[in-house]
Amino acid sequence: MINVFGTFRSQYAGYEGAPLTYIVSADIGFNIGKTKHGAGISFYDNTAGLFRFQDVNVQYAYRFPILDGYLSGGVIVDFTTVSIDKDKIHQAESEYHDAGDPAIDKAGNDFKMDLGVGFLFKNKKWFAGISLLNVLSPEYELSDKTFFNKTMNLKFIGGYNISFNNPLYKLKTSAMVNTDFVSWSGIINANLEYKDSYWGGIGYRIDGAVVFMAGIRVLNGLVIGYSFDLPTSKLIQSAGSHEIVLSYSFNIDFSKKNRYKSIRYL
């Protein structure tokens, strides 16, 4: 299958300079002999305040059967540009302030490469995984006095599917914990799925939000999802966070069964 995925997230809507995120990605699984592999590419654009982060990353994974499921191990090579939007900087104008700030005038962008690794075990009932991102922890020099550091990031994920007597329904639970070794955050979710085509659920972000989500499989392979984060902290003054997801999965048939051979060349 070829899987194409896109998402848009508006975080803390209503605040000036609040984060906006766009992601577009595609991946495919393939066999080499009897071994199973996967490869993908992602494009990421995120603005937050004065900063803009633009990423292109390529991914590769190898999968092999183990116990009653399979274990996947993968690597990611990430190319990131970090920049400052100087037009968004407000400079005070008075007799007590300089008209120009040389640090602002010299602000620009920087480009660096980074790496990530991860492992995932999955079977029909549950899954668990771990990943380490920003392994190289690059430093971006945006001017001679302005620097931005990417810190190493460790993630744990897991989930369990609960079946009912009625096979049309399934409860899918999941959790994720993320840390940069200074602070941490996490989220837990529960989604009730019907006929593998409709689902809705609720989650909780440890850093202060209740999440409501819903999705539908419109056609074969096409999925539409939406989630809304209702802040439970002082950020409740915002209009919350909104996320829209679209994905599509399809097959490409390279078989020769439909080829036609003229009898003139037999």
Residue count of the chain: 266
Q: Which residue has the higher pLDDT, 185 or 237?
A: 185
Contact 172, 157 (CB under 8 A): no
42 CA to centre of own chain: 9
pLDDT in tens, 185-235: 999 999 999 998 999 999 999 878 999 999 999 877 899 999 999 988 776
Cα 74 from Cα 76, distance rounded (Å):
7
Taking 70 as the threshold, does the pLDDT of residue 266 lie above it? no
Compute, in degrees rounded to 10, the torsion defined by CA atoms 61, 62, 64, 66.
-50
d(CA 260, CA 257): 9
Fold of 2-90+102-253: Porin (2.40.160)
Instruction: Give the mean model confidence (pLDDT) for residues 6-25.
Output: 91
Going by C-alpha positions, the residue among 206, 229, 228, 231 that lies closest to residue 215 is 228
Q: Is the pLDDT of residue 244 over 70?
A: yes
The neighbouring-strand residues paired with 199 are 193, 215
With contact defined as beta carbons under 8 Å apart, do 151 and 137 qualify? yes
pLDDT band with cut points at 50, 70 and 90 for residue 254? low
Share of the chain above pLDDT 70, in %: 89
Q: Please report which residue ranges of 102-240 form alpha helices under DSSP H.
A: 102-105
* pLDDT tens sequence across 133-151: 999 999 988 877 778 888 9
Helix (H, G, I), strand (E, B) or coil at 264: helix
The token duo for 200 is 């809705």
C-alpha span between 60 and 2 (Å, rounded): 14
CA dihedral 177, 180, 185, 191 (to 10 degrees): -40
- Backbone torsions φ then ψ of 248, nearest 5 degrees: -145, 130
DSSP H stretches of helix in the chain:
102-105
Identity of the highest mean pLDDT range in 103-117, 162-176, 223-237: 162-176
